[in-house]
Amino acid sequence: MDRTIFSGQRIPRELVVLPTEEYYRRRYRNDRRGRWLLLLVTALAVVVAAAGARAAGPERVPAGAVSPDQVGSGDLLFRAAGQANYRPAVHLNSRATVRVRGLLAEVELEQVFENASPDWREAVYVVPLPPQAAVNGLEIRVGERRIVGRVRERQQAARIYREARAAGKRAALLEQQRPNLFTSRVANIGPGEKVTAKIRFLAPVAYEGGAFSLRLPTSLTPRYMPGEPIEPAGEARAIKLDGNGWALPTDQVPDAHQISPFMQPAPELTALDSHRIAVSVELDGGLPLADISSPYHDIDSSRLSGGDYRITLRGGTALMDRDFVLRWRPRPSAMPRAALFAEVLEAKAGGADQEEGDDRNADLSGTYLQLLLLPPDTAGGTRRLPREVVFVIDTSGSMGGSSIRQARDGLLLALARLQPDDRFNIIEFNSVTRAFFPRPVPARAENLHLARAQVEALRATGGTEMAPALRKAFSQQLPGDETLVRQVVFITDGAVGNESALFELIRQSLGDARLFTVGIGSAPNRHFMRKAAQFGRGASVTIGDVGEVGAQMQALFSKLENPLVTDLRVTWPRGLHVDAYPKKIPDLYRGEPLRLVARVRGADVTGKLRVSGRLAGRQFHRELELGGKDGSGGLGSLWARRRIEALRDRQRPVGEQSAAGQQLRTQILGLALAFQLASPYTSFVAVEEKPVRPVGEALASSAVPNAVARGQVLQQQAYPATATGLYGQLLLGLALLGLGGLLRRGRGWRGTVNRQLRRWLRRWLPDPRRAPSGRARGELERLLVRVN
């Protein structure tokens, strides 16, 4: 066909003049200009955003000064007046002196600092401690002066401290923010003076799988703070403005600014020859030992004349970037099936300086016991029950570095242990929650292959929104086959600030499932891991290094796949008035002992203690003779710490502000004052009566950062003030992005520009829609005649 039908009129094809490529290039040049302009504006917005993000990174500071995130655990940061730079005090040393007697460890943690600035300072620092630590002593040495702390009600202690600080007196305040996290303040440190802070606490020795262990935290993992930011008031506002934490208070974590110290990478600390700790342990396990080891540090051990062991760090000190863990294993032939330790208190607790109305006059004399009893080994020939396992893996930003590799390896090992009659699902969470399958699926080869591929692709990014992941995990457990053992395995570093809300969620949503926690990283939140497993009726293990994945996951598998010791009951001799904890004896897993702390009224404790239960369908019982005192000190404080924990667990469901919650508060307060323990409602305060800061001299408050735990990636947590200011940069970035949106979507404005461009184009290019001129028409006709 040689003719073209166009608008109903037949025109020879050879007479049709089509637009050239040059025409289109010029005709639509204005669109390309718009695209280039949009690209330029977007690039400029990205540059502004990058500048804002850079504000969270290290600033350019003069020699001898650092920014808030260039410091580490234990450093006293001194802010120079009128500028955003920070000067750290010289960190001379840290030392932990530990004395282990049986099942109890007495620890004295000493940190020494020096005020290298020419001004008077208040130092604020965050100290991580074991989750079950009973803090019962605080001492501050400034030069030759020694200030001993005493426990007061929290508000009263804070008021005493503020008044002493304002009056120029030396003062110290130690407050509990979490059971494993404390904030210490030291006011009126003079120029060039050294500060020695000593914290004394008691911690129970752990036992699992035939070995005893003790864990001392030296750093922490930054916690994620869910919720909407709120504006604090009063003292909390002053703390926030002083920059003592990178997080703002939220409606879910009101004290976020108090539990979020700044962090510094370990290589920078090494370059400063700072943040090193010496550890000395005197070990009296009461049994012949087969071996003593530390999985994360090189140690030296020697036998003392009395049969005790002394353990020190090889090389003297180590960097404070991971937990120190000591393990000792008794000889198999010497390991008893039970251990009992006792302490007798004959006087009223609370010390000599009791005050009227402070609830410390209650008679707490009596015998305090600590019991460890090993259940019988698993009976042979037990039948393995099919399981429905939901694995929950944390892929938030705090899991970056080696933590996510440990989590992936552990999850892959767990998948390899599943049997064809099991069912499973995997849920990953960060800022959002995603399940691999809509519901648990059979552990067939094709499902496992698909799951492994997705696990290997997991990466760490985003926030730590645990609550939606836990809800989804518990909702996976559908009613149905009662032969299935329903389990949830939660793999995380526990880096959250809203622990109490999560514990309540677990308690309410658990159903008939059991929750097992796997702590990941060099400095996990052990308080969260332990309590979550407790409320979930499960158990907890910790993986602190990639090399531990196999052994620790094997320990978890032995708990998941073996029968429980259930229906445990403790029967005390008749006539004894006993207050023992835990009140409800939990089920025990393979390798776990029964642990009890108890107070018995009176000093004459005799008779037999009977423990009974069921294992793999069979009844068993153990008996232990009471009596005899070994003189172990501190058991009363340890019992009081466990009772406070139990009262807090009862308080959580009813709320602190309810009538029942206030009654429980009164009991906790009285107990903490009686035993002189730090608690949610009590603090240590120490004041020197004589003012030392000259009148007219200013006092500045200084934040205390912590060291980034080994293997973790430093997360940018805060935006310090910059020349433009964070909000100014954000507004400028939003304005530029808005301009880009107008360029993309502003039709009216684009129409005006397009009309102007069309006028310019018509001056340079002919319009092919117009009829050709007479001369052009004649040339075209002559050309057609030649062709024909």
pLDDT value, residue 144? 74
Q: How far apart are CA 583 and CA 162, in angstroms?
A: 40
Q: How far is residue 569's CA from residue 610's CA, in Å, rounded to a whole number? A: 8
Three-class SS state of 143: coil
Supply the DSSP symbol for 460. Answer: -
Instruction: Give the DSSP H or E segment for 39.
Output: helix 29-54
How far apart, in Å, are the Cα atoms of 738 and each of 41, 356, 678, 734? Answer: 10, 66, 53, 6
Residue 180 CA to residue 198 CA, distance in Å, equals: 17
Q: Which of 50, 49, 67 minimizes the C-alpha distance to 58?
A: 67
Cα–Cα distance between 686 and 149 in angstroms, integer?
4
**Which residue, among 85, 77, 79, has the nearest Cα to 60 in the 3D structure?**
85
Cα 485 from Cα 387, distance rounded (Å) = 5
Asked if 444 and 468 touch (Cβ cutoff 8 Å), the reply is no
Q: How many CB atoms lie within 10 A of CB 303?
A: 10
Separation between Cα atoms, residue 392 and residue 477, nearest integer Å = 13
- 23 C-beta neighbours (distance < 10 Å), count: 15
Q: Looking at residue 626, what is its pLDDT?
A: 84
- What's residue 69's pLDDT? 39
**Residue 406: what residue type?**
Q
Q: Cis omega before residue 582 (within 30°)? A: yes
DSSP string spanning 535-565?
HTT--EEEE-SGGGHHHHHHHHHHHHHS--E
* Separation CA 97–CA 200 (nearest Å): 10
Q: What per-residue confidence (pLDDT) applies to 772?
A: 53
- Please count the other Cβ atoms lying within 10 Å of the Cβ belonging to residue 251: 11
The listed CATH number (3.90.1170.50, 3.30.470.10, 3.40.50.410, 3.60.150.10) that belongs to domain 387-561: 3.40.50.410
Q: State how far the Cα of 614 lies from the Cα of 42, in Å rounded to an integer.
A: 68
Q: 707, 698, 562, 725: which is closest to 78 by C-alpha?
A: 698
Contact yes or no for 655/661 (Cβ under 8 A): yes
**Exposed e or buried b for every residue in 446-483, given b needs 16+ CB within 10 A?**
ebbeebbeebeebebebbbbbbebbebbbebbeeeeee
Q: Which helix H or strand E contains 171, and what residues bound it? A: strand 169-178
SS3 758: helix
Q: What is the mean pLDDT of each run of 10 residues along the chain (788 residues)?
A: 48 57 55 60 61 41 37 38 40 83 91 78 84 91 81 94 91 91 85 85 89 90 86 51 68 86 74 82 85 93 87 91 91 74 72 43 79 70 77 91 90 92 94 93 94 93 92 82 84 91 92 91 90 92 86 86 82 90 86 88 82 82 75 84 94 90 94 94 91 84 69 54 45 64 59 70 59 55 54
What span, in angstroms and rounded, lies between the C-alpha atoms of 236 and 703? 14
Tokens of 109: 């943690």
User: What's the pLDDT at 401?
Assistant: 84
Alpha helix segments (H runs only) across 193-300? 235-241, 266-271
Helices 659-675, 635-654: axis angle to 10 degrees equals 170
Tokens of residue 261, six digits: 């110290």
Per-domain boundaries in the chain: 387-561, 564-628
Instruction: Determine the Cα–Cα distance for residues 500 and 638; give it in Å rounded to an integer.
Output: 22
What's the pLDDT score for residue 51?
Answer: 54
Phi, psi angles (nearest 5°) of residue 385 = -90, 145
pLDDT in tens, 246-257: 788 888 888 888
**What's residue 644's pLDDT?**
95
**pLDDT confidence of residue 631:** 57
The two structure tokens encoding residue 418: 């599943």
- Per-residue three-class SS string for 482-519: CCCEEEEEEEECCCECCHHHHHHHHHHHCCCCEEEEEE
- In whole angstroms, give the CA distance from residue 437 to residue 656: 40
- Alpha-carbon gap, residue 660 to 651, rounded angstroms: 8
Closest CA to 56 of 721, 759, 542: 721
Q: Which of 523, 516, 495, 492 is closest to 215 using CA atoms? A: 523
pLDDT score for 766: 58
